[in-house]
Structure 1
Amino acid sequence: MNILIVEDESRIAKRIERMTRAIFGDRLQSIKHINTLQEAMKFIGNNELDLVLLDLNLNGSSGFDLLTTAVSESFHTIIISAYKDQAITAFEYGVLDFVPKPFNQDRLAQAFKRIHTNEKTATNTIKFLAVKKRGGIQLVPVEDLIYIKGAGAYTKLFLADGTKELHDKSLEKLEQLLSYSFERIHKSYLVKMSEITNISVASGSKYMAELRNGLRIPIGRTKYKDLKAKWI
C-alpha cells in the first residue's frame, strides 16, 4: 500500500500515521504526510497511490478543492474530518468512507478493511463520478449512467445520451462506491438494475440482460440466479 496523508495538524497526522502503520504492518510500502492542498495535488500527479487520507479543512482551505481531483484517480479516498455535516456531500463525490474526528484505531481499521472487500459504501448517496477531461475534471451524474464496462485497469462509463467516458478507477473500485441500484452482472460489467427490461437465455446457454436502449449485455453464469431473483 502506498498512502498519502493530507492533514494540516502535525499531531493528528502523526497519530494517523502511527495507527496506519500498526494496521497495515508489512503491507505498507510507503506513507507520506503533506499539509497543504497545493503540495498534495503535485504529489498525486507525480506518484502512484493506493489511498489518500484527506482532511477537509487545511489551514483554512477546503479539502473539497482536492477531493474532486482525488476521486477521479485510480485510488480510493477516505475523509478524516471533524466536519460531520459534510459527510453526505463527501459521499456524493465518491469517497470510500468518512471517519469523523475524534477517532480511534478500530474506526480507522474499519475504514481500511473496506479497501480490499466487495463491501459497498455505507451510504448510497453518491451522485457523481469525477472523470478527467482536458483542462480539468468533469462530474458525471450517476443518474445519467446506464452501465460500466471494465477496460483493464480503467473503466468505460456508458451514459443515457449515448456518450462514453473513461474513468481511472477499476470496475472493482466503482462497484464498492456505487449504490445498490447497480449490480455486477458479469466480470466485465456493472449495470443499473432499473435499465434491465428482460433477462433471457440465448443460444449456447448464454445468459443475456436486455436494456431499455435495446443493448444486450452478457450475464455471468454464476451471477444469473442471483440477478434474476433481484430483478423480479
Structure 2
Amino acid sequence: MNILIIEDEARIAKRIERMTRAFFGEVAQILLCESLQSGLKAIDQHPVDLLLLDLNLNGEDGFDILQTMVAGSFHTIIISAYTDKAITAFAYGVLDFVPKPFDEIRLGQAFARLNKEIRPPVHETRFLAVKRGGRINLIEIKNIRYIKGAGIYTELHLTNNQTELHDKSLEALEKLLPVNFERIHKSYIVCWAEVDQLMAEAGGRYNLLLRNKELLPVGRSKYKTIKNRLI
C-alpha cells in the first residue's frame, strides 16, 4: 500500500501519518508532500494506491487539480476544513471527504471504504474524470451505459456509442459508482437503466440484453442476484 499525503501543515501531516500507520501497519509506504507541485511530482515518480489530500495548501486550491487526481488509478480521500466543498468533491469521484478537525475513528472509517462494499447514493458521484490527449475530461455518470475491464484499465461505454479509457480498475470504480450500477461479471459493470432483459443461452450461460440490443455476459455467481433484481 503506497500512500501519499499532501498537507502543508507539518503538525497535521504527522498526525495523519501516525493515524494512517496505526490503521494499515507495516504494509504502508507513506510519503509526505507539503505542496501541490511536490505532490504532482511525487505522483509522476512513485506508484500511488491512496492519496490523502488537503484542499488549501499555502493558499493553493486543491480543487484546481482534483480532476487530475481522481482521473488516476488510485483512490483519493479529501481531508479538509472546507466542508462546503464536500458535495463537489464527491461529485468528482473521491472515495471520502474527512472534515477537519478529525479523529482516528473518522479517518479509519474512510480507510475502511477501501475494503468494504460501501456504495455512494445514486446522486453522489456525478462524474468520472478521464485522461485524453493530455487533458482531463469529465464524463457524466448518467451517460455511461456499461464499463468493461481492459487489463489494469477500464473502458467506459457511453450512451452516445463512444468509448473512453479510464485508468482505474473495475474494482476501484465499483467503490465509486452509485447503487444503480451492478457488477454482473468479472469483466463488466452495467447501469440498470440500460438493461432490457436477462436471457438464457445454451450450456447454462446467461446474457443481459441492453436497450441498445448489445449483449453482455452474466457471471454464474451473479445470476440469482440479477434475476431477483429484474423481477
Q: Structure 1 length normalisation: TM-score?
A: 0.96
The whole-number CA distance in structure 1 between the counterparts of 2:149 and 2:12 is 38
The whole-number CA distance in structure 1 between the counterparts of 2:137 and 2:58 is 26
Q: Deviations over 1:165-200 (max 9, x none)?
A: 111101011011000010001111000001001111
CA 1:46 to 1:123, structure 2 compared with 1: closer, same or farther past 3 Å? farther
Query: Residue type of the partner of 2:36?
Result: L
The whole-number CA distance in structure 2 between the counterparts of 1:117 and 1:92 is 20
Q: Structure 2 length normalisation: TM-score?
A: 0.96
The whole-number CA distance in structure 1 between the counterparts of 2:99 and 2:121 is 14
Q: Which residue of structure 2 aligns with residue 101 of structure 1? A: 100
Q: Which residue of structure 2 aligns with residue 149 of structure 1? A: 148
Query: Residue type of the partner of 1:68?
Result: Q
RMSD: 1.2
The whole-number CA distance in structure 1 between the counterparts of 2:113 and 2:178 is 15
Q: Equivalences for 1:53-202 in 2 at 5 Å?
A: 53-121=52-120, 124-202=123-201
Deviation at 1:116, TM superposition (A): 2.1
Once the two structures are overlaid, the 10-residue window that deviates more, 110-119 or 139-148, is 110-119
The whole-number CA distance in structure 2 between the counterparts of 1:196 and 1:98 is 32
Contact 2:174 2:183 in 1 (8 A): yes
The whole-number CA distance in structure 2 between the counterparts of 1:87 and 1:231 is 34
Q: Which residue of structure 2 aligns with residue 14 of structure 1? A: 14
Give yes or no for the alignment of 1:230 onto 2:225: no
Deviation at 1:117, TM superposition (A): 2.5
The whole-number CA distance in structure 2 between the counterparts of 1:108 and 1:132 is 29
Query: Residue type of the partner of 1:140?
Result: I
SS of the residue corresponding to residue 116 of structure 1 reads coil
Deviation at 1:135, TM superposition (A): 2.2
Deviation at 1:11, TM superposition (A): 1.0
The whole-number CA distance in structure 2 between the counterparts of 1:26 and 1:43 is 21
Contact 1:209 1:217 in 2 (8 A): yes
Query: Residue type of the partner of 2:54?
Result: D
Deviation at 1:123, TM superposition (A): 7.0
Contact 1:68 1:130 in 2 (8 A): yes
Q: Deviations over 1:180-229 (max 9, x none)?
A: 01000111100000100111111111111000110010111111111121
Structure 1 residue runs of 5 or longer lacking an equivalent are none
The whole-number CA distance in structure 2 between the counterparts of 1:41 and 1:93 is 18
Give yes or no for the alignment of 1:4 onto 2:13: no
Deviation at 1:119, TM superposition (A): 2.4
Give yes or no for the alignment of 1:33 onto 2:32: yes
4+ runs deviating over 3 angstroms:
121-124
Query: Residue type of the partner of 2:48?
Result: L
**Percentage identity across paired residues of the two chains:** 56
Structure 2 residue runs of 5 or longer lacking an equivalent are none
Contact 2:122 2:180 in 1 (8 A): no
Q: Deviations over 1:15-51 (max 9, x none)?
A: 10111111111211x2111111111112112210110
SS of the residue corresponding to residue 52 of structure 1 reads strand
Q: Deviations over 1:50-74 (max 9, x none)?
A: 1000011111111112211111111
